[in-house]
Each structure stands twice: as C-alpha cells, then as structure tokens.
Structure 1
Amino acid sequence: MDVHLRDLRYFAAIAEELSVTRAAERLFVSQPALSKQLRALERRLGCVLFDRVPGGVALTRQGAALLPVARELLTRWDAGYETVRAAAPAGTLVVGMQTAVGRGLQREALRRFRAAMPGWEVSLRLVGWDDPSAGLSDAGSDVAFLWLPAPPGLATRVLATERVHVVLPADHRLAGQDEIPFAALRDEPFVALPTAAGPLRDFWLALHARDTVPAIGSTASSPEEVFEAVAGGLGVVLVAEGNAELYQRPGLVHRPVPDLPSSELAIAWRDGDTRPWVAAFLDAMADHV
C-alpha cells in the first residue's frame, strides 16, 4: 500500500495547524479539497488520524504515531530533491502555467534567462485549474504564470491587463452583438473552474457582479475541457481577451463584456524565494516587459 508524498504533506500541515481551514490557507488549496484528501488518506490507512473538536481537530493515537514518520519522509525527500538538482552541471527552471501564455511574453524572456544562467534548461509545466498556484504550492514549479487573484503566500508581478470576453457558440442568441453586457449573461449556464480554484473560480464566474448564485452547466479543469464544454452547449465562459484569441475554435465566438473589471496575468513565485535562478527569471521578465 503506497501513499503519495502530497498526502503526507497535507497531513503534516493539518497536524501542525490543528485546523483544516488554516492548513488549507497555508497549502494554497480549498478547505473542501483538503478535507477530501484527508478522508482518502484515512481510508487508505484504515484508521482515523484526527478527531474533530471545537475550534479544529486533534490527533488520534494513530495520527500522533504517523506524524514523526511523515515529517522524516518529507524532510528526506526535500533534501534529496535539492541534492539531485545540485548534482547536475547546471539545472532546470520549472515554469508553471494554467493556460498558454502567448502575448509575446516568453521567447525573449527565456533568451535573457539563458544568457544570465548558462547551461540551465527551462521546463514548461501545464497545471490544472484545481491547483490555483500552478505548482508553486508543492514546489513543483519555481515560477508560474497565473491569472489573478493568486493564492496567499505568493508574490506576483502583473504582466498584462486585458478586457474580459465571453465565449459562446456561434449560434447563441447573443452571438450577433458586438458587445454583451453582463446583465444579459446572468441567467446563462456557465462553465466553471473546479471548486479548488477558490477565488479564481469566483472571479471567472463574476460573483462580484451577481446577486444570485450562478447556474453551473459544467466544471472543467483545463482550457481544453472549458472550450469543449462550450462547444458542446453546456454553458458559456468568461476569459481574458488574449486567451479568447489564443484558443479560437470553429463554431465558437467571443465578445467583450464591457461592464466587468479587467483581468490580470501575472508572473508569480513563492514569497521570500531568493534562489538565484528564480531571481534571474524575474529579472529577465522585468527587462522584457
């Protein structure tokens, strides 16, 4: 029976915070998603790790026995991971992203980064919407392109500010309009990001502009799933103007929604991360932007 390191990392965070809510904030995941992972770990182990108590949780005897083992495994893995990276003649910078970036932002920045860090490689990592940190929360990414709002614990720098568009089928009743006010969309079913996306999900459902709960026609974890759902007639979706251009599909059209706030694309990194390769990439992005 194998357990993922992520499950142990989640367990250790809950044990240290003695609160699922605080642990979720620390890990950049939603509380429901963290609770679901904890229940899955308990089923896998065949025992209860926490008792629910007023104000939070308390370790059971089994949980207290697991905690030092989990901490040792996580410490050894983190040390081993850094040792492996340091053993290479150079290294690999992992750039997380949730959508294609485009907008002329990457090519020149990557050229400048390679000039500053000779021998280093760059790996682009596409991360699902269920991780709003795009891999920063579990150290799978060194930096990431994110749509704001970002989870707590991350530093960000805005790279582009764009109007919000709605993507809908070409035969939709509103498709003939040059612009579509949000009032005309409120009763439409929407394609939503996973609940784990948290405030990012709320932004793209425009909860700030609603006084009722939106109708959810489908939930999607990647851009491909989003646009397939729209093409299938399951709902409409709000996107940044640049992404509407990047992800054009036959049978779909996009129109500006002029009365919604603009969207912001940012480069993000873990707050306090001063590693030289991260700083070199941020400098390259700053020079390019």
Structure 2
Amino acid sequence: MDAHLRDLRYFVAVAEELSFTRAAERLFVSQPALSKQIKQLEEQLRVRLLDRDRRTVSLTAAGRALLPAAREMLGAWDEAQRAVSDAAAREASVLTVGMSTSVGRGLLADVRERFTERRPTWSIRFRQVNWEDPTAGLADGDVDVAFVWLPIPRQETFNVQVVAEEPRWVAFRDDHPLAGRDTVAFEELLDEPFLALPDDAGPLRDFWLATDERGGRPVRVGATVSNADETFAAIEDGSGVVLMASGNAAIYRRPGIAAVPVTGLSPSRLAVAWRADDHRSAIRDLLCTLLPDGRAACETAPVRK
C-alpha cells in the first residue's frame, strides 16, 4: 500500500522536531491524531521509524533512511503545487486574501482600489476562515495573503508585517455590572468566565485569554468559539466575556452587547502575512498597497496586467 503524502509530512515534522508535541503544534493537529498517523505509516511500511518513550523521540535506522527521501518527495510535491497555483493565478488573475474577523479600518476598500490601479485585469477574493486556523488559510495554502492577529503558530515561517496596533477591550452583555464603566482594569476580570478560541489556535488563544498577564491565575473558560457569530451568541446567552481589539469593538457594535477599554494589558496587533517562499510579483503589488514603506515603490513601478 502506498504511503500518503500527509503521513510523510507528519513523519518529517516529528523527525525534525524530535517531539510529538512540537510537531503537532507545527502541523496544527492534535497530538493523538499525529501519533495515529505515524503508527499507520509504520504499519504500512512494516518497520518502526521512531523510538519513543515518555521523554524522548529518536529516529531508528529505518527512520533515518526514510527522512531524506520523504523530504525530497514533499519538496517535489510542494514545487508542483506552486507551479499549479501560479498557472491557475495567471489564468484566473485572482488573489485570495484570508481573514478570521472583519478587518474594517478602511483596509479592504483601500487594498482593492490600489491593487486594481496596479493590476486592472486582476481581482481580489476575500475568504473568511474560522479560528481553528489562526493563519486564516495561509498555512494550508488556501489563500495567498492573510490578515492575522498575532501571535500565530510557527510565526517565524511566514513573512509578517503589522498594519494596526490597538488596545484590547472587553465585550460583555449590556447588563453586566461593569458595562457602564469608561474603563475596566484587567484585574477586575480575572474571575470572569472567558470565551476562548479553539485549542488549535495555540498562542493566539492564549493571547486573547491574556494568560501571560494573569500573574499565574488560571483562566475560567466559559465556552469555546470558532467565529464572530458564535462569540456574540455566547455573550448574549451569558457564557462569558471576551477580549477584542478596539477596532473590532467598533465593527461589531450591536444591541445587547457593551464593550469597554481594558487597562493593564499589552496592545493587540493586526498583521498581513504571506509565505516566505512566495515571490510572485502580484503578491508584491498587493503588499505594497498595504504597507506604508511599499506605497512609494508602487507609485513609481510600472502598471502590470
């Protein structure tokens, strides 16, 4: 039976990290799912690829033999995917931009207008991605560029540029005891149940729960939410409160929900992210409409079709 590329990708991640925990984080999968796929690959090949105990993971002789071949096969497949994507993009003349929340702030209209000026025959397609994927589709290759909230898992593997830095606010039902306040200190929220992003969101989940700023106090999770609609439904039914960027507090203002600035927290950062190995000129043109340092370059560069 032939091994699936997914199984080889999982194997390479574990072999490079020598840790099922870090490999699972890198792949955006659960550790049990990763272990299951590695076991399935070993059964298919009828060899043991990894020696593992509670503390360490190491490659067997068979695993060491498979690793370079697996890397070569995955590299060839990734290159084939890029070639196909480039061909499809040239034919369709479309760039896909991912996001997990409404971006607002005038960014989308500005990007569309400026990009159209640069490439009159091209168009931008915006895609909403749930919070299970904090990279908004970028990690899986479903989008070309993404608006993301930092931090994201494996952030160092992407190019990331911050486009907005904003204080964090808290949203709760308008009958909450703190709803009438001008500001709320974060210490006043420590015992509140919080709405949490899915576990797969990793460090971004922790950021919106402000786990690093609780002084060791545990988080009370009232509910897990995957998108904005689920968030506001959970607020309305009293499941918990939620932190959000000040710009999103304005975007999502609605009856029955109050939002108040929170003091004592570091600011949130909205960024545009793209794959480090994506050097298409259309990506560069899109980015220079977003980034202050790139706009002058766009103005002097030739218009592309």
Pairwise CA distance, 1:197: 1.5
CA RMSD of aligned residues (A): 3.3
Structure 1 residues 62 and 203, CA gap change in structure 2 (3 angstroms): closer
Structure 1 residues 158 and 66, CA gap change in structure 2 (3 angstroms): closer
Pairwise CA distance, 1:195: 1.9
Mark the runs of 5 or more structure 2 residues left unpaired by the alignment.
297-305
Pairwise CA distance, 1:8: 5.1
Question: Is 1:142 equivalent to 2:135 in the alignment?
Answer: no
Look up the match of 1:241. Answer: 246
- How far apart in 1 are the matches of 2:197 and 2:67? 34
Tell me which of 263, 266, 282 is aligned to 2:268: 263
Pairwise CA distance, 1:24: 4.4
| CA offset digits 1:82-139 (Å, max 9, x no partner) | 2254154353212111101111011121222123234223221222222222222222
Mark the runs of 5 or more structure 1 residues left unpaired by the alignment.
none
What secondary structure, in the 3-state scheme, does the structure 1 residue paired with 2:141 have? coil
Look up the match of 1:19. Answer: 19
- How far apart in 1 are the matches of 2:118 and 2:286? 9
Q: Which structure has the larger Rg over C-alpha atoms?
A: 2
Look up the match of 1:35. Answer: 31
Look up the match of 2:109. Answer: 107
- How far apart in 1 are the matches of 2:178 and 2:4? 47
Question: Is 1:226 equivalent to 2:227 in the alignment?
Answer: no
Structure 1 residues 6 and 174, CA gap change in structure 2 (3 angstroms): farther
Structure 1 residues 90 and 204, CA gap change in structure 2 (3 angstroms): same
Structure 1 residues 42 and 271, CA gap change in structure 2 (3 angstroms): closer
Query: Is the Cα contact below 8 Å between 1:50 and 1:63 reproduced in 2?
Result: no
Amino acid at match of 1:23: A
Look up the match of 2:289. Answer: 284
Look up the match of 1:251. Answer: 256
Look up the match of 1:79. Answer: 80
Residues 90-99 or 51-60, more deviating:
51-60
Structure 1 residues 203 and 69, CA gap change in structure 2 (3 angstroms): closer
Pairwise CA distance, 1:59: 6.2
Structure 1 residues 167 and 59, CA gap change in structure 2 (3 angstroms): farther
Amino acid at match of 2:84: T
Pairwise CA distance, 1:186: 0.5
| CA offset digits 1:13-42 (Å, max 9, x no partner) | 224544334534654x3xxx3413314536
- How far apart in 1 are the matches of 2:267 and 2:86? 39
Pairwise CA distance, 1:189: 0.5
Pairwise CA distance, 1:78: 4.9
- How far apart in 2 are the matches of 1:172 and 1:219? 20
- How far apart in 1 are the matches of 2:56 and 2:35? 19
Aligned length: 285
- How far apart in 2 are the matches of 1:169 and 1:251? 6
